[in-house]
Amino acid sequence: MKEIIIATKNPGKAREFKRIFNEEDFTLKTLLDLPAFPEIRETGQTFEENATIKAHAVMERFNLPTIADDSGLQIDALYGRPGVYSARYAGDHNDAANNAKVLSELGGVPREKRTARFVSTLVFANPKNDHDLVVEGDVKGLIGLFPAGDDGFGYDPLFYLPELDKTMAQLTIDEKNKISHRGNAIRKLETQWEDWINW
Ligand SMILES: O=P(O)(O)OP(=O)(O)OP(=O)(O)OC[C@H]1O[C@@H](n2cnc3c(O)ncnc32)[C@H](O)[C@@H]1O
Ligand SMILES: [Mg+2]
């Protein structure tokens, strides 16, 4: 069976990838399914640089086609922060602390100025290809005044979608994948990889 690795240790991302891919043609493994992989230092200045670092570190270790996702939240009133620092804005992978910091920095900012977007950049690296596939997906929304919802991960409880009158954390995984930055990026990747990948 053909295999693709998703170079992530984030259980929320892992669930979304597994749910969206139809695994009839290949199986998907994340770093949570594989022997302990050392911490990858995300030293890039952009989502693409960090996704490239992750995809290549993991591809070289396992010698298999590997997709990495580097993603984050860009808030207009904060000049694009937390951006590439989204995972470690207030505390490393401490979602509650990160959300609290965003809310406190936005204190007093009115609804119409709380615009934001989630971005996901995917880099697909393959031992048999000399260039990577790179795609970006996004979704626009507003930062709520307080967290709402229990699903998803990260900043989902703060990310309000006016058209749905719900936060990202109030959506099912399928509803989130249908509109999310990651879902949009994965769909773009799927239209491109058939011609590129040579198993
Ligand atoms: O690097 P990996 O192992 O993939 O996992 P990570 O959580 O560290 O992932 P990133 O380095 O790409 O950091 C992205 C952060 O942005 C936030 N984020 C990204 N996508 C999100 C989503 O769909 N919903 C909520 N928050 C998200 C969340 O805080 C993530 O930890
Ligand atoms: Mg990370």
Q: How far is the CA of 75 from the centre of ligand 1 (A)?
A: 15
Residues 86 and 125: their CA atoms lie apart, in Å, by: 24
pLDDT of residue 1: 83
Q: Which two tokens stand for residue 148?
A: 């709402």
Residue among 5, 9, 13, 102 to mutate when testing ligand 1 (max atoms within 8 A of CB): 13
pLDDT tens series, the chain, 199 aa: 899 999 999 999 999 999 999 777 899 999 999 999 999 999 999 999 999 999 999 999 999 999 999 999 999 999 999 999 999 999 899 999 999 999 999 999 999 999 999 999 999 999 999 999 999 999 999 999 999 999 999 999 999 999 999 999 999 999 999 999 999 999 999 999 988 988 8
Q: Which atom of ligand 1 is nearest to the CA of 9?
A: 3
Q: Which two tokens stand for residue 80?
A: 């694009």
Contacts of 172 by beta carbon, 8 Å cutoff, 6+ apart: 151
Which residue's structure tokens are 């697909």? 124
Catalytic residue positions?
70
pLDDT of residue 88: 97
How are strands ordered across the β-sheet holding 27-30?
27-30, 3-6, 66-75, 115-125, 133-143, 159-161, 166-167
Q: How far is the CA of 110 from the centre of ligand 2 (A)?
A: 31
- Asked if this assembly's ipTM is beyond 0.90, the reply is yes
Nearest Cα to Cα of residue 48 among 69, 31, 65: 69
User: Ligand 1 pocket: which residues have CB below 6 Å?
Assistant: 8-10, 13, 42, 69-73, 86-87, 93, 98, 118, 152-156, 168, 180, 182
Q: Which domains does the chain have, with CATH numbers?
A: 3-196 (3.90.950.10)
Max Cα–Cα distance, the chain, nearest Å:
54
Give residues whose Cβ lies within 5 Å of ion ligand 2: 87
User: If 0-12 CB within 10 Å is exposed, 13-18 middle and 19+ buried, where does residue 145 land?
Assistant: middle
Q: What is the pLDDT of residues 111-141, one digit of tens each?
A: 999 999 999 999 999 999 999 999 999 999 9
Binding site residues for substrate, as ranges? Answer: 8-13, 71, 153-156, 176, 181-182
Residues 132 and 129: their CA atoms lie apart, in Å, by: 7
Nearest Cα to Cα of residue 171 among 96, 128, 118: 118
Q: How far is the CA of 70 from the centre of ligand 1 (A)?
A: 7
Q: Which atom of ligand 1 is nearest to the CA of 181?
A: 23
Contacts of 188 by beta carbon, 8 Å cutoff, 6+ apart: 135, 136, 137
Q: How far is the CA of 8 from the centre of ligand 2 (A)?
A: 7
Q: Whose CA is nearest to atom 16 of ligand 1?
A: 72
